[in-house]
Amino acid sequence: MPTSPLLLIDDDVRLATMVAEYLGAQGYRVQHVVDGEQGLAHLGREVPALVILDWMLPGLDGLEVCRRIRALNGAAARVPVLMLSARGDPMDRIIGLEIGADDYLPKPFEPRELLARIRALLRRHNVAQPVQAGMLQFGSLDIDRDAREVRLRGQLCELTSYQFDLLVVLAERAGRVLSRDQIMEAVRGRELEAFDRSIDVHMGRIRAAIEDDVKNPRRILTVRGVGYVFARQQD
């Protein structure tokens, strides 16, 4: 799925190169500029899908750049902004958000957390984004089959290896009602546990990890007398 480039405004060329390479491997195009003036000039020519903005910039600092972005006209003023900062004061985050940033990530950061926050912001702003071959996405739920990770709104969900396999079986067949026997058959050949037949217990634990309200699940639904179905449409 194509997406507009991400604009990275950061004077740390080494970090910017690493970020661009990592995000590029995830299907994102990154355009990098080293100061706020160049970033604002770029926004005047092309509106990116998202701006990754460093706080500590030469000349115009990140706060001033963010202020000027929000003062622009049209779509450029509404572009999501993810602010980066090596400053450790929690008040900095509050200030950044009050100025108009959509999210704030302290340096140093894990690349996967940056990626998760970017994905969450793009979903929030309904911006199309690339989908990896190993990635299953259902609204705010990301299932990364390659990394064997599940994230809900960017936050890692704690699942055992076996529970992850069960979830993938359901998600790969979203919209289809599967009996317990069909689910068990689908995980044959994967790592099995001694208490495989306790599938309802596992489903309860998966729901506890990925549902907003376990008592009223919206992702994994029980079909009484049959089995389970993973919902196609999710928030």
**Residue-level pLDDT at 195:** 43
Q: What phi, psi does 16 have (nearest 5°)?
A: -60, -40
Give me the pLDDT at residue 229, please: 95
Residue 106's DSSP bridge partners are 85
Q: Please name the residue that has the structure tokens 């770029």.
A: 42
For residue 84, give the H/E element and its range: strand 81-85
Q: Give the residue extent of every domain in the chain.
A: 6-124, 135-230
Q: Are 41 and 133 spatial neighbours (Cβ–Cβ below 8 Å)?
A: no
The kind and range of the H/E element at 152 are: strand 149-152
pLDDT tens across the length of the chain (235 residues)? 335 689 999 999 999 999 999 998 888 899 999 999 999 999 999 899 999 999 999 999 999 999 999 999 888 999 999 999 887 677 777 887 888 899 999 988 999 899 989 988 888 887 666 666 678 888 888 898 888 999 998 889 999 988 999 999 999 999 999 998 888 888 865 544 434 457 889 999 999 999 999 999 999 999 998 999 999 877 6
CATH class given for the domain over 135-230: mainly alpha
Q: Are 219 and 138 in contact, with CB atoms under 8 Å apart? A: yes
Q: Please say whether the dihedral angle defined by the alpha carbons of residues 215, 180, 210 and 207, taken in this order, is positive or negative.
A: positive
Q: Are 37 and 61 in contact (CB under 8 A)?
A: no
- Read off the pTM: 0.58
Rounded to a whole number of angstroms, the distance between the first and last alpha carbons of the chain is 19
Q: What confidence score (pLDDT) does residue 169 get? A: 93
> Is CATH 3.40.190.10 what the domain over 6-124 is classified as, yes or no?
no
